Amino acid sequence: MFRILLVCMGNICRSPTACGVMHAHIARRQLARLIEVDSAGTYAGHKGEKADRRAVTLALARGYPHIERVRARRVLDQDFERFDLILAMDRDNLARLQQQCPPAHQHKLHLFLAYAGQGGSDEVPDPYYGNAAGFEVVLRLCEQGSEGVLDRVVATMA
In angstroms, the CA 158 to CA 156 distance is 6
109-111 β-sheet, strand order: 35-41, 2-8, 85-88, 109-111
Asked whether residue 39 carries a pLDDT value surpassing 90, the answer given is yes
DSSP string, 57-69: HHHHHTT-GGGGG
Percentage of the residues of the chain whose pLDDT score is greater than 70 = 99
Helix 53-61 and helix 14-28, axial crossing angle in degrees, nearest 10? 20
**Is residue 156 within a helix (H) or strand (E), and if so which, with residue range?**
helix 132-157
Architecture of the domain defined by 2-157? 3-Layer(aba) Sandwich (3.40)
Average pLDDT, whole number, for the chain? 96
Please identify every residue annotated as catalytic.
Answer: 8, 14, 126
pLDDT at residue 93 in the model: 98
Tell me the chain's radius of gyration from C-alpha atoms. 14
Asked if residue 19 lies in contact with residue 66, where contact means CB atoms within 8 angstroms, the answer is: yes
Looking at the whole model, is its pTM more than 0.85?
A: yes
- List pLDDT tens digits, range 7-33: 999 999 999 999 999 999 999 999 999
With 80 as the cut, is the pLDDT of residue 1 above it? yes
pLDDT band at 118 (very low <50, low <70, confident <90, very high): confident
Band of pLDDT at residue 121, cut at 50, 70 and 90: confident
Residues 121/145, Cβ–Cβ less than 8 Å: no
d(CA 120, CA 107): 23
User: What is the structure's pLDDT at 24?
Assistant: 98
Domain ranges across the chain: 2-157
Is the predicted pLDDT of residue 157 greater than 90, yes or no?
no
